[in-house]
Amino acid sequence: MGKFCRPSGSEISMSSPQKLQNYLDDLSFLTDKNDKIQYLIELAEKYKPIPDNIATPPFDKKHRVEYCESEAYVWAIKNVDENFDIYIAVESPSGISAKALAVILIDSISGESKETILKVNADIVLKIFGKELSMGKNMGLTGIVKKIHQLVENS
Residue scoring higher pLDDT (1 or 108):
108
Using one digit for the tens of pLDDT, what is the confidence trace for 19-62?
999 999 999 999 999 999 999 999 999 999 999 999 999 999 99
- What average pLDDT does range 61-78 have in this prediction? 97
* pLDDT score recorded for residue 87: 98
pLDDT band at residue 9, thresholds of 50, 70 and 90?
very low
What CATH number has the domain spanning 18-153? 3.90.1010.10
Using one digit for the tens of pLDDT, what is the confidence trace for 89-126?
999 999 999 999 999 999 999 999 999 999 999 999 99
Question: In sequence order, what are the residues at sequence separation of 6 or more whose Cβ sits closer than 8 angstroms to the Cβ of residue 62?
Answer: none
Residue 129 phi/psi, 5-degree rounding, is -100, -15
Is residue 71 a contact partner of residue 58, using CB atoms and an 8 Å limit? no
* pLDDT score recorded for residue 132: 86
pLDDT at 8 > cutoff 70: no
Residue 136 phi/psi, 5-degree rounding, is -65, -45
pLDDT at 10 > cutoff 90: no
Amino acid identity of 86? Answer: I
* pLDDT score recorded for residue 15: 55
Sign of the dihedral through C-alpha 91, 124, 20, 42: positive
* pLDDT score recorded for residue 13: 42
Alpha carbon separation from 10 to 21, 70, 74, 127, 145 (Å, rounded): 8, 29, 28, 10, 20
pLDDT at 7 > cutoff 60: no
Strand, helix or coil for residue 90: strand
Which sequence spans correspond to the domains of the chain? 18-153
* pLDDT score recorded for residue 16: 72
How many Å separate Cα 150 from the centre of its chain? 15
